[in-house]
Structure 1
Amino acid sequence: MTGAETLYYLDAARTEDQRAYMSSLEERGICIFCEEHVAEHQEHPVEHRGEFWYITRNAYPYAGTVAHYLIVPRTHVASFDELPDAAGAELWSLQRLLKDRHAPLATATVMRSGDMRYNGGSVAHLHAHFVILDDAPSATVKFKVSA
């Protein structure tokens, strides 16, 4: 199966634990980011729900971040262009909400869209990574954005 036909792209997993968990979810046909699965299958609860997106903390945060959030569409889409323009406006608003909550020195956002075999993603449900950074990171934060 290709990245376009699966819920998870196991080659993009960053740890063996993450790979094993994604494989188990794939076998059961469960998308971890679909709202009906959040309570049972995500480590962290939804912290905020908007019309188009919800916010949760990442169970596998990137090294070097103070906080690592996922901003996830409430409907299952693989690409940003499957959402209405109003979803883009709400995304900016949610990023401001997180920035205001933490008052960080810096933030970074990455969103991978489309075929996971080429964009570096591991879950076929579109989501934005929003990380909070400080002046003394424990490691250089690295986002994988290609195969």
Structure 2
Amino acid sequence: MSAPEGPLYYLESSRSSEQREYMESLESRGICVFCPENVEEHHGRPIEHRGEHWYVTQNAFPYEGTEAHYLIVPVKHVTSFEELPDEAGAELWAIKRMLRERLAPLATATVERSGDMKYNGGSVAHLHTHFVALSREPTRTIRFKVSAKGTEE
């Protein structure tokens, strides 16, 4: 698969200098880390589950304070939900249920960012869902960035 048009990463949304350098390196080589053919070599975490429309892997840069941080990623390189067929939605729900069962009794949370990374807080131009498990005795608040603009409190 050739690299999609447009920027693959939005560096302003990186959460660490290590993550930013990683994204800069991939961008300079035209590599989308979430396209399935690149995951094994460039993501650093294996694909743990494959479906027709989605695959599951652990996040290489998990949010601080999570017990587990999975990514549910479309097999097809898309940036928005409307680019996927309706059947992909049913498969996504099934994968979320599977992960929830795997992580029980921990509480879970998800977030998806669809569309332009400059505005949605995302860092990779390949749609994906964050699925995190939260500690039973949290020591910090987990925050999902869902906007690239504004200030954090």
TM-score, normalised on structure 2?
0.92
Q: What residue is the counterpart of 1:47 in the other structure?
A: 48
CA drift of 1:140 comes to 0.9
Q: Conserved in 2, the CA contact under 8 Å of 1:104 and 1:132? A: no
One-letter amino acid matched to 1:113: S
Partner in structure 1 of residue 31 of structure 2: 30
Q: Please show how residues 108-147 of structure 1 align to structure 2 within 5 Å.
A: 108-147=109-148
CA distance in 1, matches of 2:51, 2:96: 12
Residues 1:6 and 2:18 are matched in the alignment: no
Tell me the number of residue pairs that the alignment of Structure 1 and Structure 2 aligns.
144
Mapping of 1:13-92 within 5 angstroms?
Answer: 13-92=14-93
Consecutive aligned runs of 4 or more in structure 1 exceeding 4 Å deviation: none
Whole-angstrom distance in 2 between the partners of 1:75 and 1:58: 18
Q: What root-mean-square deviation, in Å, do the aligned CA atoms of Structure 1 and Structure 2 show?
A: 1.0
Higher relative contact order (CA 8 A, sep 6+): 1
Shift of 1:139: 1.8
Q: State how far apart, in whole Å, the 2-side matches of 1:20 and 1:144 are.
A: 20
1:134: how far off?
Answer: 2.4
Residue 151 of structure 2 is matched in structure 1 by: none
Does the aligned pair in 2 maintain the 1:34–1:75 contact within 8 Å? Answer: yes
Looking at structure 1, the residues matched to 31 and 11 of structure 2 have their Cα atoms a distance apart, in angstroms, of 14
Structure 2 stretches of 5 or more lacking a match?
149-153
Write the distance in 1 (CA, Å) between the matches of 2:105 and 2:116: 32
Amino acid paired to 1:24: S
Q: Distance in 2 between matches of 1:104 and 1:124?
A: 32
Distance 1:104 1:18 in 2: 31
Task: Supply the AA of the counterpart residue of 1:101.
Answer: R
Q: What is the identity percentage for the equivalent residue pairs of Structure 1 and Structure 2?
A: 66
